[in-house]
Chain A
Amino acid sequence: DAGVIQSPRHEVTEMGQEVTLRCKPISGHDYLFWYRQTMMRGLELLIYFNNNVPIDDSGMPEDRFSAKMPNASFSTLKIQPSEPRDSAVYFCASSRRGQGLYEQYFGPGTRLTVT
């Protein structure tokens, strides 16, 4: 069974450019999470979806960040315009209620560098 798939694995872009990160959750999972990892703050939850509906976006840093989940097998996290302080590793995770209490399965992450 394939795990969570994220693309691209690495992204280098210039300040002011639009960045789109992609995620394919594990089939059958009904929750999808977007996290950002930094040295100072560890793993921060940005937003999560249940059955494709955003449930909590309180972690989204500002309006430059947006996330969508058009169907059960695909989600995007967009940053427009990007800034150097957005440089971090972004993880997508998915889970299924009832399969291991609150256990989430993470993708390999996208390392974003904004110059």
Chain B
Amino acid sequence: DQQVKQNSPSLSVQEGRISILNCDYTNSMFDYFLWYKKYPAEGPTFLISISSIKDKNEDGRFTVFLNKSAKHLSLHIVPSQPGDSAVYFCAASAGNEKLTFGTGTRLTIIP
């Protein structure tokens, strides 16, 4: 039972355009969400997070939006750069250190 779902296994975006990665969750106890980025042959690295008391968090080119009523969050990357090509994982916490991850979305930025 996947409590965190990333329904798009892959996404291709032209360099300079906006990349939008989506994540849905089913557990209403989740109150903190994180995005991780993973390059081949490396471990995931933390990118950005958001608490359920907010609906938006921004860090440079990266913005995460949270829609609690829809149990949906998205990661926006503007503008997209070739170095952004990676697998992106959405993760959620129900108020403790245990994170539940999605299956990931492979983002390819086309030069």
Q: A and B, one complex? A: yes
Q: Tell me if A102 and B41 are in contact (CB < 8 A).
A: no
- For B, the interface residue count at a CB cutoff of 8 angstroms equals 24
**Shortest Cβ gap from A4 to chain B (Å):** 7
Q: Which of B2-40 contact A (CB under 8 A)?
A: 2, 6, 32, 34, 36
- Chain B residues contacting A12 (CB-CB under 8 Å) are none
Closest to A104 in B: B99
Q: Per-residue CB proximity of B65-103 to A under 8 Å, as 1/0?
A: 000000000000000000000000101010001111111
Q: How many A-B residue pairs have CB under 8 A?
A: 62
Q: How far is the CA of A93 from the CA of B51 in the complex (A)?
A: 21
- Chain B residues contacting A45 (CB-CB under 8 Å) are 98-101
Q: Tell me if A102 and B49 are in contact (CB < 8 A).
A: yes
Q: Tell me if A101 and B32 are in contact (CB < 8 A).
A: yes
**Shortest Cβ gap from A102 to chain B (Å):** 5
Closest to A31 in B: B97
Q: Tell me if B89 and A43 are in contact (CB < 8 A).
A: yes
Interface of A toward B, CB cutoff 8 Å: 4, 31, 33, 35, 39-45, 48, 50, 55-56, 91, 93, 95, 97, 100-109
The 3 residue pairs across chains A and B that have the minimum distance between CB atoms: A106-B43, A42-B103, A43-B101
Interface of B toward A, CB cutoff 8 Å: 2, 6, 32, 34, 36, 41-46, 49, 51, 89, 91, 93, 97-104
* 28 CB < 8 A contacts A-B: A4-B43, A35-B101, A40-B103, A42-B89, A42-B101, A43-B91, A44-B101, A45-B98, A45-B99, A45-B100, A48-B98, A50-B97, A55-B97, A91-B44, A101-B51, A102-B93, A102-B97, A102-B99, A103-B34, A103-B46, A103-B49, A104-B99, A106-B36, A106-B45, A107-B43, A108-B41, A108-B42, A109-B42
